[in-house]
Amino acid sequence: MNVKALSVMAYTVVLLLIAYFINTVSFIALLLLFILQLLSEIKNVLKLKIIAYFTLFFSVPLFFSVYDVVSVALSIPYFFMLIDNISKLASKRVTMGFLRTKVKIGYSVYASSIIALPITILSIFNTQILYTIALYYSLLFVQFMIANKELSKVNVSLNSYTLRVFKGDENSYEVIVSNKSKNSVNIYLETPTCENVKATLSRKFKVLSKGEQLKIGLKIYGKLIGESVLTLKIILTDNNLLAKKTIALKPKVIVIPQYKLALRAAIILLSRLAQLQRTVKLTEYTVKGLTGRTRRGEYYGVRAYVPGDEISSIHWKKSVSKQTLVVKDYRRKPFGTLIVLCDLTSKTFNELDDLVYTLLSTLIYETLRDPMQTIYLAIYDKQRMHLNVVGENVSRALLKTVKYLQKTPLKTLKEAIEAHLDKPSLEVLRSSIVKNIPLTVAEVSGLKDKLFENNGYVFLSKIAKVVKPPANIVLIHGNVLEKHTYSLVEYNVKTIGYSIVEAKKPKPRILYEKAKKEPLIVGVKPIG
């Protein structure tokens, strides 16, 4: 029981003493209500408190009707206790569903107005009740106006007017809420909506104290390339739930094609690679000038001397300890062969962006793993071959791909690509390959004509005469083709003995960081 409740109970005792000298019936009735008030405070039952203070507010003017209009003012302390307990009950029981409704008043005002409606009907029979009702709604209106004014002092903003994110990547922003009102406020944030991005909040509900500032994380994930508007609704209520205010933030959202960041990552990687290769050449030249020998690979240890080994390669200290001649063993890691088929046939710009990004990220990953790896690369669509690289190292293939994309922007490329996709004549592609079920002879022959028209398959047929298994093949194509020609391509290459390797497709910022910071090794270790 708090001080406020004790004060109102003491006030009721004073009214009891006055009623004792005025009217016995009024005294007995008020005594019963006092007992109800006392029990509700001792038991601390909110519903019982609301009944007690509601009954006291409308009964006291009738008990002291001898004072006419003045008696109405005697019930004012019970009004504030009633509102206080209604707000406490509301904060415990009311769900956020009410906050999301179009009702512009707080729950306490709404509930208080509803429960007083039956009493309003009785006011036509009694003037005293009419005065009490008038006082009740007047106090309710004043409370609402004060709370509403305080809510206007709460500022809500974003830390950026324009939200930018790469397609397929995430970016984080902040919703900043500053409470400059005299009271604490309840803040509820609805789930943001936007066509081009998926947006999530770090938290949706918070009680903000007086003078407090809150920063709520807003994370957006790029889905569709282009510009749009994100709608974020913030609902504010005072601590007594008397008033409600809705603030709508509508920042501009720009989803950037992910291939642009991949292109930037590729340029950085190629720049690092060129610098590292210059360092390697300088290192080899310096070592040869000083010692008369060139370090031709990464140091793996020592091996026994065989006739024909250079004298300069003898490891003298190890030879003395082993009592036999040993030489330093410099070896290069054997380079594997990679075949990449990238079909740019697509129906939308977003799909084309996905394909180009997947191609660049795969080449970046392979360059980081082994820049000297041999690659056979074909970039094509249904109509023509755009670029092919035959038997060169993967870093060179990456360079040629970057130059081609810089010369031919994606929008221009999209205009040149026409996707006229035919449905397969047979339902052989009902996820048979996904389930590792071999295709039948009839199913294979049904798609043979379609297969021979594919530029990638024609390229692969020529390469297969030069590159014998084992070799890794990466197939990059749109979802519209996932259960079309490439199911048969996979079947054929697996039958021959090639391995299908999944294309690399990390988030754009992860790819960018790898290209920027991941260590590189080119043949020999650079100094430093």
Q: What's the pLDDT score for residue 372?
A: 84
| Token representation of residue 223 | 């889905």
Residues 6+ apart with CB under 8 A from 321: none
DSSP count for the chain of H helices, then E strands: 19, 18
* CA 77, chain centre distance (Å): 50
Contact yes or no for 463/472 (Cβ under 8 A): no
Q: For 301, left (φ over 0), alpha (ψ -120 to 50), or beta?
A: left
Residues 6+ apart with CB under 8 A from 189: 175, 201, 203, 204, 205, 216, 232, 233, 234, 235
| Token representation of residue 214 | 């809150």
Quick count: other Cβ atoms within 10 Å of Cβ 144? 21
Contact yes or no for 344/379 (Cβ under 8 A): yes
Q: What's the pLDDT score for residue 487?
A: 76
Backbone angles phi, psi at 240, to 5 degrees: -95, 5
Q: What is the pTM of this model?
A: 0.69
Contact yes or no for 394/270 (Cβ under 8 A): no
Backbone angles phi, psi at 479, to 5 degrees: -65, -30
Q: What's the pLDDT score for residue 295?
A: 42
The CA angle 336-279-309, to the nearest 5 degrees, is: 65
Q: What's the pLDDT score for residue 122?
A: 75
Q: What's the pLDDT score for residue 355?
A: 92
Contact yes or no for 382/418 (Cβ under 8 A): yes
Contact yes or no for 79/92 (Cβ under 8 A): no
Q: What's the pLDDT score for residue 401?
A: 94
Cα 283 from Cα 385, distance rounded (Å): 41
Q: What's the pLDDT score for residue 284?
A: 43
Backbone angles phi, psi at 244, to 5 degrees: -140, 135
Cα 161 from Cα 391, distance rounded (Å): 49
Question: For the chain, how far is it from start to end, CA to CA, in angstroms?
Answer: 74
Q: How many residues does the chain have?
A: 528
User: Quick one: DSSP state of residue 313?
Assistant: G
Q: What's the pLDDT score for residue 361?
A: 94
Q: What's the pLDDT score for residue 402?
A: 94
Cα 500 from Cα 490, distance rounded (Å): 7
Q: What's the one-letter identity of residue 312? A: S
Contact yes or no for 419/346 (Cβ under 8 A): yes
* Pairing outcome for strands 213-222 and 162-166: unpaired
* CA 208, chain centre distance (Å): 25
- Cis? peptide before 409, omega within 30° of 0: no
The CA angle 399-400-403, to the nearest 5 degrees, is: 85
Residues of the chain with confidence (pLDDT) below 70: 1, 92-104, 277-301, 306-310, 329-336, 416-452, 479-484, 520-528
Q: In 3D, which of 48, 77, 39 has the Cα closest to residue 61?
A: 77
Q: What's the pLDDT score for residue 287?
A: 39
- Three-state DSSP state, 233: strand
The CA angle 225-229-230, to the nearest 5 degrees, is: 100
Instruction: Output the CA–CA distances (angstroms, integers) from residue 105 to 51, 97, 148, 246, in the order listed.
Output: 22, 14, 9, 11
